[in-house]
Structure 1
Amino acid sequence: MPKQKTDILKAQTKTRAAAPKRQSSTAQLPTFNARIEGIEYGILDELTGYAVRRAQLSIYADFSASLGVYDITPQRFSSLVIVGNNPGISQTRLAEVMGIARSGVVAIIDNFEQAGLLERQDSGDRRSYNLHLTKEGQKQLEKYKLAVKEHDDRVSQQLSVKERQQLRALLGKLCIDPK
């Protein structure tokens, strides 16, 4: 498994394990410092991928501090948004959209189903289910969206609205089309 995915899985596991015990979501999380004084970064300072990864680590730390108390990771939040915006989406299609293995989506769905946020509905094919948010899932998603919006505003506060739009457009150009 690539190191990046391993790091993310470890962080998600720590967040899930710590969430019920937390009183303040920011008090117990380690801080991430993208630049440490006295360290020579050499060629790393010239690499786009390294800069994106360092920004991602910083953003993920803030996301975890903001939403960890809800046991929501970026992947789980994205899954809820996709299902909410695409009622009836299949598990297989959700896995494709998320860029993760179908087994990973099944684990996410199982978790949401147990929490009463999502339900599987028969699609007519015994091997496939259509996914729908429950009323509680819709309610919780709205709460999560507010927290994520606050998080996003905080991590991008140094950028103007135009710069935020430009950054999203530029990052989109970095996505490699497999076709």
Structure 2
Amino acid sequence: MGRNKDPETPKELAHFNARIEGIDYDVLDELVGYAVRRAQLSIYEDFAASLGEEDITPQRFSSLVIIENNPGISQTRLSEVMGIARSGVVSIIDRFEAQGLVERQDAGDRRSYQLRLTREGQKQLRRVKKMVKEHDERISGALTPDERVQLCRLLRQLCN
């Protein structure tokens, strides 16, 4: 499935420590955006460690899930849903198509394709979903089930 090169995640960073003792974080401790970014870095590190051998990234995983649950979605619509440039989606779909996970179907417009998972794509996604769920349970293990629901709800509110 392919390695992600997140330009904001330093490659040489052996282990991300979200909180270093003895450092004065001043106003950063009060900033929601800073806290979310620090959490995201920790979560991404665990995701990469957990699924690195699968050659899957959060973006690729999300793309497969969206395609699976919205068969026939166009590349343009997928780019809107994912919040990435259409050229980025084309690159992701090219990779998936070469791996036999996704197929493009002509939508009657030469500039538009409908996307569908292949049988192999469905099979691989089922397997990877289990791994992602295990990762998610691990990274949210310090939260109660109610806190986890509340956190997801609060984060969705930030997106509105």
Structure 1 or 2: larger helix share?
A: 1
Q: Which residue of 2 aligns with 1:117?
A: 101
Q: Which amino acid aligns with 1:159?
A: L
Distance 1:113 1:7 in 2: 27
- Alignment pair present for 1:107 and 2:94: no
User: Percent identity among equivalent residues?
Assistant: 70
| Cα shift at 1:6 | 2.7
Picking from 55, 58, 67, the partner of 2:51 is 67
Distance 2:71 2:15 in 1: 37
- Alignment pair present for 1:156 and 2:140: yes
4+ residue runs over 2 A deviation: none
> Unpaired runs of 5+ in structure 2?
1-5
> Unpaired runs of 5+ in structure 1?
15-28
SS of alignment partner, residue 152 of structure 1? helix
Distance 2:97 2:136 in 1: 27
- Alignment pair present for 1:144 and 2:145: no
When normalised by structure 2's length, the TM-score is 0.93
When normalised by structure 1's length, the TM-score is 0.83
Distance 2:156 2:16 in 1: 25
- Alignment pair present for 1:165 and 2:113: no
Q: Which amino acid aligns with 2:16?
A: F
Residues 11-62 of structure 1 deviation map (CA, whole Å, 9 limit, x = unaligned): 6xx9xxxxxxxxxxxxxx8211101112111110010000000000000000
Picking from 70, 78, 87, the partner of 2:71 is 87
Q: Give the length in aligned residue pairs.
A: 155
Relative contact order: is structure 1 or structure 2 higher (C-alpha 8 Å, sep ≥ 6)?
2
Residues 138-176 of structure 1 deviation map (CA, whole Å, 9 limit, x = unaligned): 000001100000000000001011110000000011114
